[in-house]
Amino acid sequence: MKSYLFALDLPELTEILTSWGEPGYRAAQIWQGLYQNLWDSPEAFTTLSKGLRGRLAEAFEFSHLQPVADRTSSDGETRKILFHLPDGQPIETVRMRYQKRRTLCISTQSGCAMGCLFCATGQMGFRRDLSSGEIVEQVIYFARRLKDQGERVTNIVIMGMGEPLHNYAAAMQAIRRLNHPEGMNLGARRFTLSTVGLPPRIRQLAREDMQINLAISLHAADDELREKIIPINRKYPIAEIMGAVREYARASKRRVTFEWALINQINDTPEQAAKLADLLGGMLAHVNLIPLNPTRGYARKASTRERAERFQEILQKRGVPCTIRLRRGIDIQAGCGQLASEQNGM
What was the pLDDT predicted at 328? 56
112 is catalytic: no
The parts of the chain modelled with pLDDT lower than 70 are 327-346
What was the pLDDT predicted at 74? 87
Q: Of 227, 259, 336, 342, which residue is the catalytic one? A: 336
Domain ranges of the chain: 3-61, 66-343
What was the pLDDT predicted at 345? 47
What's this model's pTM, rounded to 2 decimal places?
Answer: 0.93
What was the pLDDT predicted at 1? 84
**Domain 66-343: CATH superfamily, name plus number:** Aldolase class I (3.20.20.70)
- Give all strands (DSSP E) within the chain, no chain letters: 3-4, 60-61, 66-72, 78-84, 90-97, 102-106, 109-111, 126-129, 155-158, 191-195, 213-217, 256-262, 285-291, 322-324
Q: What is the mean pLDDT of the chain?
A: 93
119 is catalytic: no
Q: Domain 3-61: state its class.
A: mainly alpha
pLDDT in tens, 61-92: 999 999 999 999 888 899 999 999 999 999 99
DSSP class of 304: P
C-alpha distance from residue 307 to each of 56, 100, 257, 325 (Å): 58, 30, 21, 14
Q: Of 92, 134, 137, 259, which residue is the catalytic one? A: 92
